[in-house]
Amino acid sequence: MIPEDLKYTEAHEWVQLVSPGVVRFGITHFAQDSLGDIVFVSLPEEGTAVGQGDACGEVESTKSVADVYAPIAGTVTARNDVVETSPEAINDEPYGNGWLIELSVEDESALEALMDAAAYKAHTEGQ
């Protein structure tokens, strides 16, 4: 449940470089499983500038709410409308249809500082 080709944050988000200068991110399988059934999602407007680690949205399940943090600095270029109308997509396909936000980023190299799949696996096993 931890795809090899993605990068990961300590806050249980996955990040993917989808085209030069554009990353897509969402929450991991581990995160959605910990939250339980997700019923509300709020995401930032397109054009919102975010710094690395900034809270930029919320994912709320029947039992708890979690902030969404920007994995690297950038500007919101797309938000996944699917998860706002069908939040269960995050539970069903956290790495697919359940993605959250796309950012245009100036410094792609910031991705390199994030965890790879093996490091993230070790991170989740520590929790």
Partner 1 sequence: MLADTNDQIQDSEPQQPRQGPLHQRHVDLGAKLVDFAGWLMPIEYEGVLKEHMYVRESVGIFDVSHMGTVLISGQAASALADVAFALDVAAVASGKAAYGLCLNESGGVVDDLLIYVRSNTEIMVIPNASNADKVVSALTEVRDSNSEFADIEIADVGIEFAILAVQGPTAGRVLAEAGYPTELDYMSFIDIDDVTVARSGYTGEYGFELVVPTAQAASVWDALVEAAKSQDGGPVGLGARDTLRLEMGYPLHGHELAPDRMALTAPVGWTIGWDKPAFIGREAIVAAKEQGTDRKLVALRFTDRGIPREGMAVVNLSGEEPREVGVVTSGTFSPSLKAGIALALVDTESVANGDELAVDVRGRQLATERVTLPFVDSNPRVVPA
**Virtual CA dihedral for 12, 14, 104, 77, nearest 10 degrees?**
-80
Q: Which is nearer to partner 1, 106 or 113 (CB)?
A: 113
Interaction residues for partner 1, span 39-58 (CB under 8 A) = 39-40, 42
66, 89, 114, 115: residue in contact with partner 1 (rule CB under 8 A): 66
1, 5, 18, 36: residue in contact with partner 1 (rule CB under 8 A): 36
2 with 10: CB under 8 angstroms?
no
Q: What is the DSSP letter of 109?
A: G
Interaction residues for partner 1, span 89-108 (CB under 8 A) = 91
Number of residues that bind partner 1 (CB under 8 A): 26
Is 80 among the residues that bind partner 1 (CB under 8 A)?
no
Q: % helix / strand / coil in the chain, to the nearest 5?
A: 25, 35, 40
Is 82 among the residues that bind partner 1 (CB under 8 A)?
no
15 with 72: CB under 8 angstroms?
yes
Q: Burial of 120 by CB count in 10 Å (0-12 exposed, 13-18 middle, 19+ buried)? A: buried
Is 117 among the residues that bind partner 1 (CB under 8 A)?
no
> Which residues are near partner 1 by CB under 8 A?
9, 11-13, 27-28, 31, 34-37, 39-40, 42, 59-60, 62-69, 88, 91
